[in-house]
Structure 1
Amino acid sequence: MTANVIRVVGARVHNLKNITVEIPRDKLVVITGLSGSGKSSLAFDTIFAEGQRRYVESLSAYARQFLGQMDKPDVDYIEGLSPAVSIDQKGVSHNPRSTVGTVTEIYDYLRLLYARIGIPHCPECGREVTKQSAQEIVDVVASLPESSRLLILSPLVRGRKGTHQAVLEEIRKTGFVRARVDGVVHELDEDIQMDRYKIHNIEAVVDRVLLHHDADPDEQKAFLTRLTDSIETSLKFGDGYLIVQDITDANAPHDMYFSEHLACPEHGSVLPEIEPRTFSFNTPHGACPNCQGLGGKLEIDAELLIPDPNLSLTEGAIALSEWSGPKEEGGYYWQSLEAAAHFYDIDLRAPVRTLPQEKLDIIFYGTRGKEIPITYKSVKGHEYVFDREFEGVIGNLMRRYNETNSEYMREKIGLFMNMRPCPTCGGKRLRREAMAVTVDDKNIVEITEWPILQTLEWAEHLIGSSTPLNSRQQTIAERILKEINERLGFLVDVGLDYLTLRRSAGSLSGGEAQRIRLATQIGSRLMGVLYVLDEPSIGLHPRDNTRLLRTLKGLRDLGNSVIVVEHDSETILSADWILDLGPGAGEHGGKVVAEGTVDHILENPDSLTGAYLSGRLQVDIPRERRTGNGKALTIVGARENNLKNIKVKIPLGKFVCITGVSGSGKSTLMIEILYKALAARLHGAHTQPGDYDRIDGIDFVDKVINIDQSPIGRTPRSNPGTYTSLFDQIRSLFAELPESKMRGYRPGRFSFNVHG
């Protein structure tokens, strides 16, 4: 019997009442019941914990030291277990480099696809580029203007740290007599020293030539032969790369880059060899050099710096103490601001909103190199007069943020910073060279910006009958596209077709993160595994629930056991087997009220779940609705993410529900725009709301609270009593007892967080 069931005997974890259950294997099993009835205690803290513990114990002692060892759950024994995988609702990752594409590994396959069949283009002009032969390079160099003085250089070290003495010795042994080190030409018999901790560039000087187009044919032929030999030598010595430096104008020399690999013949733009890492924003080979692949840069936000523009600077409009208005003895920063205001005739007593933009630019960004007279009076009364550039409030804060070693100072200034799109890559994360490679005239960034459903349609088009790929490309891409299509299809099946592959993993809800892990597990095609899921239907619109159930059944049909903790009626009715725990919550729960098929649960008179599923009990719908207070919040011009410049009126004093299909913009409207705008306005929070025109009716609201899915804390010293501050009242009560007063006990005496 145990071959076909998972038998749990004597489970006593948390509030479980020494229960014994038999769960059929290779089935879709739902554990349901009231909140707090023991569902998670049975599914996760007992069955999954024991399955994971046994699997880890089967590994070698060396392997176990790298894995977290779970404690044995309080249970007599469990039979019929398989290796267990838990798919819960924790966030995927808060790493800013982690995206939906990287988490699901779809982006890895896209990188491989573009590296193998992508067509490179010049980042400057967009024309398709191909490799250059030595003869093509000779033709370009020979066509340079008359009397051009050129150095033929072979690059050996590019952007590497070290002293590189071995490289210099290799150049000497090869027979060259000069080398260019960090842009300066040296004789190789010199003592060339380089800082081992700095980045260096080294090129061997292969030849020096002077162009003469009016030479006689024999001389011209000899010159071309020499030039060809020099270029071939440079390419051979430089692994297919060479640099031609034009030193005709000694005051303005410039380099021309050539390659046997990929280069634009018109602009000379040389592209690196196309590899999968070329398209990775997590490596220096593909990441934007300005933002290092983050897609944005932290910058001081003027709106956070001056939360109330109706105040003047002397009234403390700037929300930093050192810049927040005159004191009895103003510090250097304030006195330098006064000096700049005097020099440029800026009224420090006028409301900030009335100051013209050019005056605000001086306040924020300083005099941009121009020195002005500054008078500084120290706390001891000494007065100093000097000329110095005024760096501006934002300029000063950015300098201090970049230079300080104090974590406190970085956190303090960081409160006034926001992530802004990188000006170099426009938030795309990648180098221009990577974005210049296309498949079907689309670069990899365009593909990842589409909704997943559109990306799937594009990938299917590439292997369809009307594919734009040639036969060679089809042969190379066939298996890659198969993996991409399958993984995209799994994401669509779990109701995530509205996401984009470049969506930050940290911005996903707990339900979205869980469904991504579910899709990843389906893609792994494991068999004989026990999957334990925690309410996968949370956050799903009923339209998407059918696809989710189809996915869960597909996981089961692969030969796996699927246990789901769930309240959703559609999921319960689709289960092969149901466990209903209860009858109450907490101390009143922990028992098996009913178990069996759907029909058994519906017919069981003790099952509260069955009563609601059968219609014997129903949730009452109120006949009358609240009238509210007649006031409303109105959001005008909401445009963040996928919102289409909408106007929304939210009545106050009522229970208001915002609904819609998954990905329709509910969280964007309510959290990214409304909550963040209200938090900034009412509580001075350093939040940057999404794009919108205005919100009317804020004066009708006193406070805003966001209750989201984030965990309340992970510290072992925290419990519901301490988190809700109830324990403070309990400690105060005990401190008021006569015996406590006699002993001199204060509330801290009854705290388990205070020594003694």
Structure 2
Amino acid sequence: MDKIIIKGAKEHNLKNINIEIPKNKLVVITGLSGSGKSSLAFDTLYAEGQRRYVESLSSYARQFLGIMDKPKVESIEGLSPAISIDQKTTSKNPRSTVGTVTEIYDYLRLLYARVGTPYCPNCGIKIEKQSIDQIVDDIMKLEQGTKIQILGPVVREKKGEYKKIFEEYQKEGYVRARVDGETVELSDDIELDRKKKHTIEIIIDRLVIKEDIRARLTESVETSLRIANNLVIVDVVGGEEKLYSANYACPKCGFSIEELTPRMFSFNNPMGACPECTGIGYLQKMDEDLLVPDKEATLYDGIKLYGSSTMKKGDTIAQMYFESIAKHYGVKIKGVKIKDLPRSFMEKIMYGTGDEEIDFAYKSSTGTHHNRATFEGVIPTLERRHRDTKSAGMMQWYEMYMTEQECSACHGARLKPEVLAVKVGTLNIKELTDMPIRSIKEYLLSLELSEKEEMIASQIMQELSKRLQFLIDVGLDYLTLSRSAGTLSGGESQRIRLATQIGSGLTGVMYILDEPSIGLHQRNNNRLITTLKKLRDLGNSVIVVEHDTDTMYAADQVIDIGPGAGVHGGYVLAQGTAEEIAKSDNSITGKYLSGRMQIAVPKKRRNLTGKYLEIVGATEHNLKNVTVKFPLGNFICVTGVSGSGKSTLINDVLYKNIYKELNNSTMKVGKCKSLKGLHHIDKVINIDQSPIGRTPRSNPATYTGVFDLIRDIFTTTNEAKMRGYQKGRFSFNVPGGRCEACNGDGIIKIEMNFLSDVYVPCEVCKGKRYNHETLEVKYKGKSIADVLDMTVEEAVTFFENVPRIKNKIQTLKEVGLGYIKLGQSSTTLSGGEAQRVKLATELSKTQTGKTLYILDEPTTGLHIDDVHRLVDILQKLVDKGNTVLTIEHNLDLIKTADYIVDLGPEGGEKGGQIIATGKPEKICKEPLSYTGQYLKDYLEI
């Protein structure tokens, strides 16, 4: 069968649709946000494909996998095994890196174990292991007639007199030795200074290189290896001497290393992991900046947690410590600000006095007592208390003042020193994985290996080259393999999994992807499309939920779902190629594709107000000492290729520094020399895509604060007044009004051993969350449960005459969320929906006209028609005097900005610079700006 036939799909808002999707093709499903795209792709196709696969397994295997619920669909024919690649981040495990997730690190470990060259971590000398035959062969290569002597180094750089050693070797028949470079007779009375280091080498044989001395030479070498711990020195008379080892041991200091194995290069294995940090690369340590946030305060008031939350003036133990230490070092501390105290003195206070004892003076009712002791230091004391405490609360309290700091033993490399001393070419495994992926590929291709190494490594190198190329193809060439997987964005982790899937070479599979182009600059988009086609050409069905027009034109078929969102969506509007969709009158997507509808370029852009926020000398992550101005009262877009430093500049440097200043926070901030112009703003709001709540009890009504107002309305009804119901009666989080059978959840979880857990509506309240008495209270004929079950659109009409409630809900509708229910669990909202709930919440607040709004990729998950509405809302915010700053790749939004800050030129190490700033028209004229090159088409320049 060459197509997937779906009949009667009714999952979520799908309207009993029938559709045929061609197999082994690239198919894009598009439509407005909330129209039912994900319901068709993930909740119907993927869910059924996965369910059928799991059902075919044994009951024993099924109990570990869990079975997905059967979607609401009459029948699906021609379904293949399904693999979903969505935007959920790869792993929050600190041990997961880009290298381990893609399995490239496994191949690198193999490469280093098989063709790596160990060096001594102490001396830097190459460590070689040779057999007796190899050693003899090497010596025989010397010119005929060369005079040599064979020596066995029995003592190397060690203190002692060694009389017994001289006697022992004399008894064995040896005549001479070389002691500290001087040849001596063993029969002489040799006197050595036992306090000095000595080197003793027994002279085993003296030879002249000739054809017939091989047997004698072999015997002498064997003797030296036996008496000198597998070492032999060949001293060429009048020339250089050479040391050979039959172990993996340093010929100079004797440092030995085991036979190289792949396990030794794993930071998740005790054989290779740094013992100090157990292979994580960092440790949780007290942070001096968090403990001493106010450098303007005195020592008595400025140090957090020591003695109390901050020290109070008076005769505390801590004060006694500080005064005694100050007296010992002759430093005045009374009335002196911390910033004016000598740094050497602060080091003693914070980190201790080491072995130096201090005369501590204790005052009590019986007089002053003295005690000489060392001082442990504020930070070591608090770290010890953190280690020793059994209280979870205290542990949490200490951790507020701790940050992740680089391990001092391995300096963040995660591995043991002897492992880091193994090199392939000129780099160890840490240095290699710290390079961007594109540079790793270039380095491996340029390696000069011997013929033997080439034979061993050829297959490994082939596999490495292939996998690295897949990552380059999906636009991730700027990432390093050592980057922690938890720091990747949703788009990056999705593209990593996409590259890994291509590497797996599976065929006959149905892949379902959720907006793989998220976070990707137009420049990288073509490579991503090529990768999707490659996945299709392997013999797979590739179904992509996507809004990107380039992907639609590259697809074999486009399915447009709509026409609206929520209850207004769920129909198939059009199906065919992008060109056919563009001609369709039913399809909103088609109207934008054909240009019949479009987001207009502003006729006139706002002028600069003369007020700026300025970052000076930002150096966080890959930023190259960036200084940049952001004009206030403008709509600003920060652009640049993936990995160029946009999020670092805006989220880590700008937002965190402003937030810290405005709120006196102890937040860790991105590094910059200074931030100017803060007096122009009174508030900064970062509207990101993190969930609005982590439990099913959180919903849009509770997050926006409208639920409080709705409960107030219910308490004013006559029924509620008669019964004496207060506001708490209408909450499903506290006993009283809620259904106690399900604790206000409305559903009950039933655990099934062999099947997935089943959630069934509560039999008592029938899923309404409240008890019978509470539901009897009605406002305009609706109970509190009925109101929570309304969509935003319905609620706007229902509360028409209650401005306080209507205005808050209206903003949810304006940001394109008219289809979500007021009581919808926050865990079911996508990242883009959560971001828009936050945006609506901020929009409904009173505007000061001096607020800075920061949005990170607000067009994520939005159809071009939704982007149109979003642009209108953001422009209205700026019209009120506020500043809106977005990090964005979507050119439809970028073209409407007043001012652009473009970073680049590339991603990773090759990024972190300001390429251009100014109005969009100016950016288009900048030859180095990739954004400008693509923006020209949208501005028709």
Amino acid of the structure 2 residue aligned with 1:51: G
Q: Which residue of 2 aligns with 1:159?
A: none
Match for residue 286 of structure 1 among 248, 272, 280 = 272
**8 A Cα contact 2:51 2:69, kept in partner:** yes
Q: 1:528-547 maps to which residues of 2 (within 5 A)?
A: 528-547=508-527
User: 1:577-627: per-residue Cα shift (whole Å, max 9, x none)?
Assistant: 111111111121111111122222111101110000111111011122334
Structure 1 unpaired stretches of 5+: 151-208, 242-257, 463-467
1:447 and 2:432 aligned? yes
Corresponding residue for 2:658?
Answer: 678
Query: 1:372: Cα distance to partner?
Result: 3.8
Read off the aligned partner of 1:212 and give its amino acid letter: E
CA 1:391–1:702: 2 relative to 1, 3 Å: farther
* TM alignment of 1:212-227, pairs within 5 A: 212=167, 215=170, 218=173
Q: Partners of 2:66 and 2:573 in 1: how far apart? A: 34
- Structure 2 CA distance, aligned partners of 1:667 and 1:564? 26
Matches within 5 A, 1:247-646: 260-314=246-300, 316-320=301-305, 322-323=307-308, 325=310, 327=312, 331-341=316-326, 344=329, 345-374=331-360, 385=369, 387=371, 388-462=373-447, 468-627=448-607, 629-646=609-626
Contact 2:304 2:311 in 1 (8 A): no
- Pairwise CA distance, 1:673: 1.7
- In structure 2, what is the equivalent of residue 16 of structure 1? 14
Q: Deviation at 1:326?
A: 5.0
* Residue 671 of structure 1: how far off its partner (Å): 1.7
Match of 2:75 in 1: 77
How far residue 275 of structure 1 moved from its aligned partner, in angstroms, is 0.5
Does structure 1 residue 650 correspond to structure 2 residue 605? no
The structural deviation recorded for 1:359 is: 2.6
| Deviation readout 1:356-409 (Å, 9 max, x if unpaired) | 21232233123334444556679xx89884524433322221221222222322
In 1, distance between residues paired with 2:36 and 2:648? 34
The answer to whether residue 152 in structure 2 is matched with residue 139 in structure 1 is yes
In structure 2, the residue corresponding to 1:721 is in which secondary structure? helix
| Structure 1: distance between partners of 2:156 and 2:527 | 64
* Match among 55, 58, 61 for residue 57 of structure 1: 55
1:233–1:16 distance in 2 versus 1, CA, 3 Å? farther
- The Cα of 1:300 is off from its aligned counterpart by 2.0
User: Structure 1 residue 119 and structure 2 residue 92: aligned?
Assistant: no
CA drift at 1:350: 2.2
Aligned to 1:454, what secondary structure does the other structure show?
helix
Q: Alpha-carbon deviations, 1:173-215, whole Å to 9, x = none?
A: xxxxxxxxxxxxxxxxxxxxxxxxxxxxxxxxxxxx6333883
Deviation at 1:684, TM superposition (A): 3.8
1:512-552 deviations in Å (ceiling 9; x for gaps): 01000000001000001111101000111111000000000
Q: CA deviation at 1:329?
A: 6.8
Deviation at 1:44, TM superposition (A): 0.8
Q: Counterparts of 2:656 and 2:346 in 1: how far apart (Å)?
A: 25
2:700 match:
720
Cα 1:313–1:594 shift into 2, 3 Å: same
Residues 425 and 431, structure 1, Cα contact 8 Å, conserved in 2: yes
1:237-252 correspondence runs (5 A): none
> How far apart are residue 486 of structure 1 and its match?
0.7
Alignment RMSD (CA, Å) = 3.1
CA contact (8 A) 2:85 2:512 kept: yes
Quick one: which amino acid aligns to residue 277 of structure 1? Answer: R
Asked if the contact 2:470/2:499 (under 8 Å) is kept, the reply is yes
**TM-superposed deviation, 1:434:** 1.2
The corresponding residue for 1:211 is 166
1:343/1:331 CA distance change after superposition, 3 Å = same
| Distance in 2 separating the partners of 1:86 and 1:145 | 64
Unaligned regions of 5+ residues in structure 2, if any? 136-149, 177-185, 187-201, 205-218, 232-243, 737-941
1:38 deviates by 1.0
Deviates more, 1:679-688 or 1:395-404: 679-688
User: What corresponds to 2:35 in structure 1?
Assistant: 37
Indicate the residue corresponding to 1:250 in structure 2. Answer: none
Equivalent residue number for residue 687 of structure 1: 667
Q: Tell me what 2:97 maps to.
A: 99
**Distance change (3 Å), C-alpha of 1:228 and 1:377:** farther
Identity of matched residues, %: 53
Change in Cα spacing, 1:346 to 1:592, as seen in structure 2 (3 Å) is farther
SS at match of 1:442: coil
Answer yes or no: is the 8 Å Cα contact 1:49–1:73 preserved in 2. Answer: yes
Amino acid in structure 2 at the alignment position of 1:290: E
What amino acid sits opposite 1:7 in the alignment?
I
Query: Which deviations, in whole Å up to 9, do the C-alpha atoms of 1:278-310 show, x marking residues without a partner?
Result: 111111211222222222222222222222322
Q: 1:606 to 1:727 in 2, by over 3 A?
A: same
Q: Are the aligned partners of 1:510 and 1:709 in contact in 2 as well (CA < 8 Å)?
A: no
Note closer, same or farther for the CA distance 1:114–1:326 as it changes in structure 2 (3 Å cut). closer
- Residue 686 of structure 2 aligns to a residue whose secondary structure is coil
Structure 2 residue matching 1:580: 3-state secondary structure: strand
Contact 1:134–1:232 (CA<8 Å) still a contact in 2? no
Tell me which amino acid in the other structure corresponds to 1:353. K
What is the rounded CA distance, in whole Å, between the counterparts of 1:62 and 1:741 in structure 2?
58
Alpha-carbon distance change, 383 to 404 in structure 1, aligned in 2, over 3 angstroms:
farther
One-letter amino acid of the counterpart of residue 482, structure 2 = R
Secondary structure of the 2:446 match is helix
CA distance in 2, matches of 1:608, 1:491: 34
Alignment of 1:48 with 2:22, yes or no, is: no
**Cα gap change, 1:138 to 1:352, in 2 (>3 Å):** same
Supply the distance in 2 between the matched residues of 1:218 and 1:112 (Cα, whole angstroms): 48
One-letter code aligned to 2:74? D
Residue 262 of structure 1: CA displacement?
0.6
**Does the 8 Å contact 2:304/2:310 carry over to 1?**
no
Instruction: Report the secondary structure of 2:617's partner residue.
Output: strand
Q: Given the alignment of the two structures, is residue 743 of structure 1 paired with residue 723 of structure 2, yes or no?
A: yes
Q: Provide the C-alpha distance between the structure 2 equivalents of 1:322 and 1:743, rounded to a whole number of angstroms.
A: 53
Tell me the number of residue pairs that the alignment of Structure 1 and Structure 2 aligns.
Answer: 668
| Change over 3 Å in CA distance of 1:367–1:42 after alignment to 2 | same
Question: Larger relative contact order (C-alpha < 8 A, sep ≥ 6)?
Answer: 1
**1:743 to 1:642, Cα distance in 2 relative to 1, 3 A:** same
- In 1, the alpha carbon distance for the partners of 2:223 and 2:127 equals 25
TM-score, normalised on structure 2?
Answer: 0.66
Moved more, 259-268 or 132-141: 132-141
Question: Structure 2 counterpart of 1:452, which letter?
Answer: I
1:216-246 Cα shifts (integer Å, max 9, x gaps): 6737699999x999996998xxxx99xxxxx
Classify the secondary structure of the residue corresponding to 2:302: coil
Seen in structure 2, the aligned counterparts of structure 1 residues 573 and 133 have a Cα distance that, compared at 3 Å, is: closer
Give the SS at the match of 1:521: helix
